[in-house]
Amino acid sequence: METVHLKINNIPVEVPKEYTILQAAKEANIEIPTLCYLKDVNCIGACRICVVEAKNRRGLLAACAYPVEEGLEVFTNTPAVRKSRKTTLELLLSTHHKKCLSCIRNQNCELQKLAIEYGVDEDAFETEEPVFPIDDLSPYIVRDDNKCINCMRCVAACKNVQGISVIGAMNRGFSVHVGSAFDKSLNDTPCVGCGQCVVSCPVGALYEKPQEEKVWDAIANPKKKVLFFTAPSIKATLGEAFGMPIGTNVEGKMVAAIKRLGENVKAFNMDFTADLTIIEEANELVERIKNGGTLPMFTSCCPGWVKFVEHYYPEMIPHLSTCKSPQAMFGAVLKSYYCIRNNIDPKNVFVVSVIPCTAKKFEATRPQLRSYPEFDDVDVALTTRELARMIKRAGLDFANLPDEDFDAPFNKATGGGVIFGATGGVLEAALRTAARILDGNFQKVDFEEVRGPEVVREATYEVAGVTVKVAVTSGLGNARKLVEKIKNGEADYHMVEIMACPGGCINGGGQPTRSDSVSNFVDYKALRSKALYDQDKTSEFRVCDDSPVIKMIYDEYFKEPGKEKSHHYLHTSYVARDKHYK
Ligand code: SF4
Ligand code: SF4
Ligand code: SF4
Share of the chain above pLDDT 90, in %: 96
Asked if residue 504 has its Cβ within 6 Å of ligand 3, the reply is yes
- The Cα 558–Cα 324 span in angstroms is 15
Number of structural domains the chain divides into: 3
Reported as a pLDDT band with limits 50, 70 and 90, residue 458 is: very high
Residues 194 and 222 in one domain: no
pLDDT digits 0-9 by tens, 408-442? 999 999 999 999 999 999 999 999 999 999 999 89
Q: What are phi and psi of 277, to 5 degrees?
A: -60, -45
pLDDT at 528 over 70: yes
- How far is the first Cα of the chain from the last one, in angstroms, to the nearest whole number? 48
- The Cα 59–Cα 224 span in angstroms is 64
Share of the chain above pLDDT 70, in %: 99
What residue owns the CA closest to ligand 2's atom 7? 148
Q: What are phi and psi of 75, to 5 degrees?
A: -130, 120
CATH number at residue 543: 3.40.50.1780
Structural domain contains residue 486: yes
Structural domain contains residue 85: no
pLDDT reported for residue 347: 95
pLDDT reported for residue 578: 79
pLDDT reported for residue 128: 83
- 524: region left, alpha or beta (phi > 0 left; psi from -120 to 50 alpha): alpha
pLDDT at 387 over 80: yes
Structural domain contains residue 83: no
CA distances (Å), 343 to each of 43, 294, 336, 339, 392, in order?
57, 40, 10, 6, 34
pLDDT digits 0-9 by tens, 107-119? 999 999 999 999 9
Domain boundary among 184, 208, 232: 208
Structural domain contains residue 422: yes
Question: H-helix or E-strand containing 12?
Answer: strand 11-16
Residues 301 and 240 in one domain: yes
- The Cα 252–Cα 256 span in angstroms is 6
CA gyration radius for the chain? 25
Residues 67 and 152 in one domain: no
Asked if residue 148 has its Cβ within 6 Å of ligand 2, the reply is yes
- Which of 96, 146, 147, 154 has the most ligand 2 atoms within 8 A of CB, as the residue to mutate? 154
Residues 66 and 109 in one domain: no
CATH number at residue 118: 3.30.70.20
Atom of ligand 1 nearest to the CA of 359: 1
**pLDDT mean over 124-153:** 95
Give the list of residues 6+ apart from residue 279 with CB closer than 8 angstroms, or none.
Answer: 433, 544, 545, 550, 554, 561
Average model confidence (pLDDT) across the chain: 96
Which of 509, 503, 499, 475 minimizes the C-alpha distance to 209?
509
pLDDT reported for residue 580: 57
Reported as a pLDDT band with limits 50, 70 and 90, residue 570 is: very high
Structural domain contains residue 87: no
pLDDT at 95 over 80: yes
Residues 154 and 261 in one domain: no
Asked if residue 324 has its Cβ within 6 Å of ligand 2, the reply is no
Give the list of residues 6+ apart from residue 32 with CB closer than 8 angstroms, or none.
Answer: 21, 22, 25, 50, 52, 63, 64, 76
pLDDT at 582 over 60: no
Q: Specify which residues 143 forms β-bridges with.
A: 135, 206
Structural domain contains residue 58: yes
Q: Specify which residues 208 forms β-bridges with.
A: 141
- Which of 141, 200, 501, 525 has the most ligand 3 atoms within 8 A of CB, as the residue to mutate? 501
Structural domain contains residue 23: yes
Ligand nearest to the CA of 159: 1
pLDDT at 443 over 90: no
State the burial class of residue 138 (Cβ atoms within 10 Å of its Cβ: 0-12, 13-18, 19+). buried
Where in the sequence is the domain holding 65, given as residue range(s)?
A: 3-77
Reported as a pLDDT band with limits 50, 70 and 90, residue 173 is: confident
pLDDT reported for residue 254: 98
- The Cα 330–Cα 326 span in angstroms is 6
Asked if residue 357 has its Cβ within 6 Å of ligand 1, the reply is no
pLDDT at 579 over 70: no
Residues 202 and 220 in one domain: no
Domain boundary among 208, 229, 253: 208
Residues 69 and 101 in one domain: no
- Which of 114, 177, 198, 203 has the most ligand 2 atoms within 8 A of CB, as the residue to mutate? 203
pLDDT reported for residue 191: 97
- The Cα 180–Cα 168 span in angstroms is 6
- The Cα 317–Cα 287 span in angstroms is 18
- The Cα 31–Cα 36 span in angstroms is 15
CATH number at residue 69: 3.10.20.740
b/e per residue 426-453 (b: at least 16 CB within 10 A): bbbbbbbbbbbbbeeebeebebebbbee
Q: What are phi and psi of 377, to 5 degrees?
A: -70, -40
Reported as a pLDDT band with limits 50, 70 and 90, residue 127 is: confident
pLDDT reported for residue 275: 97
- Which of 206, 208, 513, 514 has the most ligand 2 atoms within 8 A of CB, as the residue to mutate? 206
CA distances (Å), 364 to each of 279, 357, 359, in order?
22, 12, 9
Asked if residue 470 has its Cβ within 6 Å of ligand 1, the reply is no
Residues 54 and 117 in one domain: no
Asked if residue 142 has its Cβ within 6 Å of ligand 2, the reply is no
Residues 202 and 230 in one domain: no
Rounded to the nearest whole angstrom, what is the distance from the C-alpha of residue 154 to the centroid of ligand 2?
A: 5
- 489: region left, alpha or beta (phi > 0 left; psi from -120 to 50 alpha): left
Rounded to the nearest whole angstrom, what is the distance from the C-alpha of residue 155 to the centroid of ligand 2?
A: 8
Residues 60 and 140 in one domain: no
- The Cα 499–Cα 508 span in angstroms is 10
Q: Are 350 and 313 in contact (CB under 8 A)?
A: no
Neighbours of 457 (CB within 10 A): 21
Q: Are 91 and 129 in contact (CB under 8 A)?
A: no
Rounded to the nearest whole angstrom, what is the distance from the C-alpha of residue 158 to the centroid of ligand 1?
A: 5
Domain boundary among 144, 177, 208: 208
Rounded to the nearest whole angstrom, what is the distance from the C-alpha of residue 389 to the centroid of ligand 3?
A: 21
Structural domain contains residue 82: no
pLDDT at 581 over 60: no
pLDDT digits 0-9 by tens, 533-551? 999 999 999 999 999 999 9
In 414-545, beta strands by DSSP E? 456-463, 466-474, 495-499
Residues 128 and 247 in one domain: no
Residues 189 and 322 in one domain: no
* 3-class secondary structure, 429: helix
**pLDDT mean over 375-396:** 98
Q: Specify which residues 168 forms β-bridges with.
A: 179
